[in-house]
Amino acid sequence: MAKEATQETTAVAARGFLIWGEEFSRNGRYAAAEKLYQRAWALVEKTLGHKHPMMAEVLECYSDLLVKTNRRTEGTAMKNRADAIWRAYGTRLCRNHIQANPVPSYCIEREGSD
């Protein structure tokens, strides 16, 4: 399998773990959420590396959970690590930048616009 395909598969799997982890966290299932974040972390670190933007996303989600579960010091350290990764890649990839500057409506495909 090509490196690009492996990285894409990793990103998709990790994103799935994060989505389910966030859902479990919202529903108070913190232990289940933490296991999913740990799986995402291990997968991303092994395949994409510990400085990849996807790792920053994992760290952000995990840090939120740690703060919710009264592990603020650990969560803050993890959030700082995520911020450092984002800074290394610049604001063009930063999650906050993307949220603040959504894709223009003319770039979004509309149903029946063939």
pLDDT digits 0-9 by tens, 19-74: 999 999 999 999 999 999 999 999 999 999 999 999 999 999 999 999 999 999 99
Cα 102 to Cα 105: distance, rounded to the nearest angstrom: 9
Q: pTM of the entire structure?
A: 0.74
How confident is the model at residue 11, as a pLDDT?
A: 86
User: What was the pLDDT predicted at 19?
Assistant: 94
Task: Give residue limits of the domains in the chain.
Answer: 3-95
How would you class 67 by CB atoms within 10 Å of its CB: exposed for 0-12, middle for 13-18, buried for 19 or more? middle
pLDDT of residue 105: 47
The overall longest dimension of the chain from CA atoms, in Å, is 52
Topology classification of domain 3-95: 1.25.40
